[in-house]
């Protein structure tokens, strides 16, 4: 997970207070999906990111700035003391969320890897690397170079991390892990996703064998293999090729079930013709790992990508909306802990791409055929991806919708978008199969409206740019801010509607009359299997009431 703050004025203590979880930890549910321009319907390069954990995300924007020679960024510790300084560059770019003014976007998932490789002496955490790269790089491969150079000079402070990096032409996947206490730099590898292909990762290292070094396709740190051999993570005499993921993040049954399963679902939805087996994510011995990338059956639209990020394994044997564990109303939410034990046997709930623990998520669109100010769109949403509403923020905007910039985890507020969406989603869990339909109607109407308006908005923006680029920026800012504020207003109304329609277990009909809907018969049969006699009425009274309480 990436923490909600992005400004470097914030002390490092903010990042240290929320360390990256180990693989399989309950709040480490981040998922990322990469779509190259040849795999997208409109030629966009798209990446997604779900930042999961129990926190209130505060959307932020960083302005472009010029800096004086000798300027530095101070990195502070928990006690406020300066832990180190990072040299500032002459010019830094504007950033909205995790997308900059040049349409460069970065997401991540934490794989943790070998805990002994975390370096407490490293200065830069992975959120800082992402922020610095967005402020200093124009392209994906430049971002790889920036992050590699920064950790080499200042040290890497986090555990294992996988980054998704996209610009208007390319998508790259980069993995990084520390050298251990007192070590220098980091061990990392970055691969360009071939055009026409898709890739995914979800808290588990995905890069295996290393191709030959090629600045256009593959980059990695100099001692990535020798260090693994020195530590005993890789035996050169084995005759087996070196694998980054096997050396630095060996799989376990828990990580396969909770991490590989999400990648499997991304791929099976994108390429049904491949009939990709679930055996690897189920931990079947000898099962083949999933490829790093695949070619989808057809090019993917933005709406297709939104759908993939809303996955609960629907239509598979692991469908979280089915079965006794989904309750009477097909709710895909599972209470934490993810892993649990009964009578000495270990179990695990399924962990989907869409989870109630999501703080925020985004889908970035980078489009090379447009000016950057119009081509870069950051589709943003808070809370569970299944019940959120994505709205567009153009990468050139100079303001943000206020409800997405405020909030406190300790106090509910209608002024905070995160709380408004959580109110609606949490209430819907009471009668999920009913209420989710009302939510999806509003979601589809709003997102459909944004997608329908997008060509018109962008045509207007391009016309304004010809007259005055400042007018274009003001126009896109007003549109983005207005749509974000409208979404929160509409979602508050939706929450109030659900509270009124579904009250005390009743469901109001179109005339506002409360109706008792009862429970699905399949669920009642499961209850009776567990307690066959507990609810049975005496036979002598049934002839008057039909056996039902009136």
Kindly report the number of other CB atoms within 10 A of residue 198's CB atom.
Answer: 25
Q: How many beta carbons lie within 10 A of that of residue 25, not counting itself?
A: 20
The pLDDT assigned to 542 comes to 58
204 vs 113: CA distance, rounded Å: 8
Say which residues have a Cβ less than 8 Å from residue 233's Cβ, sequence separation at least 6: 114, 247, 248
Residue with token string 């790269």: 133
Q: How far is CA 464 from CA 122, 242, 398, 469, 473, in A?
A: 47, 54, 16, 7, 9
290 vs 453: CA distance, rounded Å? 38
Give the separation between CA 351 and CA 260, rounded to whole angstroms.
10
Distance CA 478, CA 433 (A): 36
pLDDT of amino acid 78: 77
DSSP 300: B
Q: Which residues pair with 188 in a beta bridge?
A: 176
Specify the pLDDT at position 1: 60
Q: How far apart are CA 311 and CA 314, in angstroms?
A: 7
- Give the containing element (helix H, strand E) for 46: strand 45-52
The rounded Cα 8 to chain-centroid distance in angstroms is 22
Residues 405 and 281: their CA atoms lie apart, in Å, by 38
E-only strand ranges, 81-206:
82-87, 91-92, 95-96, 99-100, 105-112, 160-166, 171-177, 187-192, 198-201
Tokens matching residue 408: 């406190």
Tokens 């006690």 label which residue? 79
Which of 333, 320, 454, 461 minimizes the C-alpha distance to 397?
A: 461
Q: Extract the runs of DSSP E, i.e. beta strands, from 152-295.
A: 160-166, 171-177, 187-192, 198-201, 218-220, 293-294
Using an 8 Å Cβ cutoff, are 446 and 387 in contact? no
Q: Which of 198, 184, 204 is nearest to 251 (CA)?
A: 204
Number of Cβ within a 10 Å radius of residue 349 = 18
Q: Residue 540: what pLDDT?
A: 83
Report the DSSP beta bridge partners of residue 377: 365, 394
Q: What are 200's strand-pairing partners?
A: 33
Query: What is the average pLDDT score of the chain?
Result: 93
Is residue 351 within 8 A of residue 339, CB to CB? The reply is no
Instruction: In whole angstroms, give the CA distance from residue 506 to residue 301.
Output: 39
Low-confidence ranges of the chain (pLDDT < 70): 1-28, 541-550
Instruction: Check residue 180 and give its pLDDT.
Output: 97
In this structure, the number of other CB atoms found within 10 A of the CB of residue 68 comes to 7
Q: What is the spatial distance between Cα 59 and Cα 74, in angstroms, rounded to a whole number?
A: 22
Task: Find out whether the peptide bond into 407 is cis, omega within 30 degrees of 0.
Answer: no
Burial label, 145 (beta-carbon count in 10 A; 0-12, 13-18, 19+): middle
Q: What is the C-alpha separation between 141 and 144, in angstroms, rounded?
A: 5
């Amino acid at each position: 997970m990436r923490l909600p703050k992005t400004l470097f004025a914030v002390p490092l203590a903010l990042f240290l207070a929320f360390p990256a979880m180990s693989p399989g930890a309950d709040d480490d549910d981040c998922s990322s999906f990469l779509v190259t321009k040849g795999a997208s319907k409109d030629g966009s390069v798209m990446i997604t990111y779900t930042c999961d954990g129990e926190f209130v995300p505060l959307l932020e924007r960083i302005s472009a700035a010029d800096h004086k020679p000798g300027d530095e960024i101070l990195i502070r510790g928990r006690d406020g003391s300066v832990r180190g300084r990072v040299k500032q560059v002459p010019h830094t770019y504007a950033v909205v969320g995790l997308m900059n003014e040049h349409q460069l976007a970065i997401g991540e998932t934490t794989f943790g890897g070998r805990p002994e490789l975390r370096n407490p002496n490293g200065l830069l955490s992975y959120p800082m690397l992402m922020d610095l790269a967005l402020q200093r790089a124009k392209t994906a491969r430049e971002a790889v170079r920036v992050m590699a150079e920064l950790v080499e000079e200042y040290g890497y402070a986090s555990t294992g991390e996988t980054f998704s990096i996209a610009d208007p032409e390319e998508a790259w996947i980069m993995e990084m892990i520390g050298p251990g206490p007192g070590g220098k730099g980091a061990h990392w590898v970055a691969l360009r996703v071939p055009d026409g292909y898709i890739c995914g990762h979800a808290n588990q290292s995905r890069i295996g064998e290393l191709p030959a070094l090629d600045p256009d396709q593959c980059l990695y740190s100099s001692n990535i293999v020798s260090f693994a051999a020195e530590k005993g993570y890789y035996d050169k005499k084995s005759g087996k090729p070196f694998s980054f993921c096997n050396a630095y993040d060996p799989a376990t049954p828990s990580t396969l079930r909770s991490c590989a399963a999400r990648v499997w679902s991304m791929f099976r939805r994108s390429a049904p013709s491949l009939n990709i087996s679930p055996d690897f994510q189920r931990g079947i011995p000898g099962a083949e790992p999933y490829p790093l990338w695949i070619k989808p059956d057809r090019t993917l639209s933005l709406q297709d990508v939104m759908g993939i990020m809303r996955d609960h394994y629907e239509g598979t044997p692991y469908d979280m909306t089915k079965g006794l564990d989904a309750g009477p109303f097909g709710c895909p939410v599972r209470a934490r802990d993810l892993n649990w034990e009964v009578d000495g046997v270990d179990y695990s709930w399924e962990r989907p791409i869409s989870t109630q623990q999501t703080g925020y998520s985004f889908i970035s669109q980078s489009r090379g055929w447009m000016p950057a100010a119009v081509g870069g769109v950051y589709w943003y949403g808070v809370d569970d991806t299944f019940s959120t509403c994505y709205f567009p923020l153009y990468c050139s905007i100079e303001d943000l919708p206020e409800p997405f910039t405020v909030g406190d985890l300790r106090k509910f507020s209608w002024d905070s978008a995160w709380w408004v969406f959580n109110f609606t989603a949490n209430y819907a869990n009471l009668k999920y199969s009913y209420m989710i339909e009302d939510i999806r109607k509003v979601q589809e109407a709003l997102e459909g409206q944004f997608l329908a308006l997008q060509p018109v908005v962008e045509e207007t923006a391009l016309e304004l740019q010809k007259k005055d680029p400042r007018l274009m920026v003001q126009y896109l800012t007003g549109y983005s801010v207005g749509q974000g504020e409208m979404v929160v207003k509409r979602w508050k109304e939706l929450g109030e509607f659900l509270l009124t329609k579904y009250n005390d277990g009743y469901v109001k009909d179109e005339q506002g009359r409360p109706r008792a809907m009862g429970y699905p018969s399949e669920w009642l049969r499961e209850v009776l299997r567990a307690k066959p006699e507990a609810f049975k009425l005496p036979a002598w009274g049934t002839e008057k009431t039909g056996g039902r309480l009136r």
